[in-house]
């Protein structure tokens, strides 16, 4: 009987471990695997949310662990990050326009 238990344990590989299906995926890969069926774009999904509450929500409902929830949270927040506005510059001088100069000559002293 003991030999039968040893043989069964050897064939089954011992205790089963939970497999992280999301493990090793980037935030973009997680979005396309988990969220893209319902959301066309990641833009706006993290808007006005704290990272820890969003990560907790994703972990409870959509991902298999804390690491994948944090990766997905970071991706969603990076998509919603405000973009830097380009600094306004003076319009470039056109080739057809003469260079700017003072309106009148400056009197000499």
Q: What is the pTM of this model?
A: 0.56
Query: Domain residue spans in the chain?
Result: 24-80
- 15 — pLDDT class (breaks 50, 70, 90): very low
Radius of gyration in angstroms for the set of CA atoms belonging to the chain, rounded to a whole number: 30
The predicted model gives 36-59 an average pLDDT of 88
The Cα diameter of the chain in Å comes to 119
Q: CA 54, CA 69: separation in Å to the nearest integer?
A: 8
Distance CA 64, CA 98 (A): 66
The token duo for 71 is: 């990766």
pLDDT of residue 14: 45
Question: What's the rounded mean pLDDT across residues 14-26?
Answer: 63
Strand spans (E) along the chain = none
């Amino acid at each position: 009987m003991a030999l039968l238990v040893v043989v069964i344990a050897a064939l089954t590989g011992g205790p089963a471990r939970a497999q992280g299906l999301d493990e090793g995926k980037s935030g973009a890969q997680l979005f396309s695997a988990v969220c893209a069926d319902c959301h066309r774009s990641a833009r706006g999904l993290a808007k006005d949310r704290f990272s820890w509450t969003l990560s907790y929500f994703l972990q409870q409902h959509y991902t298999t662990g804390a690491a994948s929830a944090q990766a997905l949270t970071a991706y969603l927040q990076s998509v919603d990050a405000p973009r830097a506005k380009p600094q306004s510059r003076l319009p470039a001088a056109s080739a057809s326009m003469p260079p700017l100069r003072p309106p009148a000559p400056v009197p000499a002293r």
